[in-house]
Amino acid sequence: MAEPGVAAASRSGAAPPEAGEPTEVLDAADTGALQRAVQRLAEGRLVAFPTETVYGLGARADDDAAVASIFSAKGRPAGHPLIVHVTDEAAARRWAAHWPAEAQRLAAAFWPGPLTLILPRAPGRGAVAAAGQASIGLRCPDHPAAQALLRAAAARGIDGVAAPSANRFGRVSPTCAAHVRDEFAHGLLVLDGGDCAAGIESAIVDLSGDLPLARRPGTLTRSRIEAVLGRPLGVPDAAVPRASGDLESHYAPSARVELWTGDALADALRREPAPPTLALYSRRSLPLGQAVHHRLMPDDPAAAAHELFAALRSLDAPGVQCIRVEAPVADDPAWDGVRDRLRRAAAPRG
């Protein structure tokens, strides 16, 4: 049986109480803006804030009603869990039923940073954020504004902020404050901390079972994680708990996304010039024909990750019906995070 807070979240369909107010974008470095954001969290309201990965839509994780309003604002299914953001390992331990040695090693190596750990959830804590599961995702972000917000919130007795990406569910994640404002014209206070450095969501490692599992790739590569663990990461199956970002269709612009090899894309454009309804995102120059929407993808995987979501948003212009993307090479693990986001963006939408 679902915990009471989870049942309430699943029934929640109303907009958050502040929905009628215009969204405010404030400088994250401003002390007054930070205190306003913390006050809103303390009141159970939503705040958008930057991390090194993407902007998050946050609520205090210890308030089930506040966390339920995240699901409502995003249109996110209540069964799709969130990640709780914390200041440090000590705060993370308060959300976990136990803290295994492998969590200790990974946190010491990569926190603060773009790594989420899934651990057994402490009884009675974070039920709605965890979508009622016995496990919970925890992360310590590496962004000065996120850390300042979390520390100030902790001083008010808030020891964790639940936050998915600050966008409508299934859509392209935001990597600057303007993206958040485009998604939510009303009802938010947005702390503007500039462009996100990583540009795609954190890697997720599941430590809730007997074997560590790779649940989502990010800019932190599998080989680096395995080097710290001292053993390979396993592959999850349908029996393991759900995790953020594991739906097949995700990160999608309005236009249809198609993945092509570079050669196939170039050949197709030589045979038939691209119409204005087509946008192109490629790592090579192409015969463009009439196409007016084209962007070159960086050759460096970190640079490509940094700009990926911004690129998809810019190519998703009025009149564009399809975005053809030159898929990253399949045998280079440094591209795993970008490849994962593009594959889900191109997946059939249900």
Instruction: Extract the runs of DSSP E, i.e. beta strands, from 90-223.
Output: 115-120, 135-139, 161-162, 189-192, 203-206, 213-216
pLDDT in the model for residue 299: 93
- Rounded Cα–Cα distance for residues 108 and 103 (Å): 8
Rounded mean pLDDT, 201-209: 97
Q: What is the CATH number of domain 4-229?
A: 3.90.870.10
CB 240 within 8 A of CB 137: no
pTM of the model: 0.93
- Rounded Cα–Cα distance for residues 3 and 128 (Å): 8
Q: For the ranges 107-121, 240-254, 265-279, which has the lowest average pLDDT? A: 240-254
Please count the helices (runs of H) and the strands (runs of E) in the chain: 11, 14
pLDDT digits 0-9 by tens, 288-334: 765 568 999 999 999 999 999 999 999 999 999 999 999 998 789 99
pLDDT digits 0-9 by tens, 57-116: 999 999 999 999 999 999 999 899 999 999 999 999 999 999 999 999 999 999 999 999
- Domain ranges in the chain are 4-229, 256-346
CB-count burial class (<10 Å; 0-12, 13-18, 19+) for 160: buried
Q: CA-CA distances (angstroms) from residue 15 to 60, 73, 183, 188?
A: 17, 6, 14, 12
pLDDT in the model for residue 345: 96
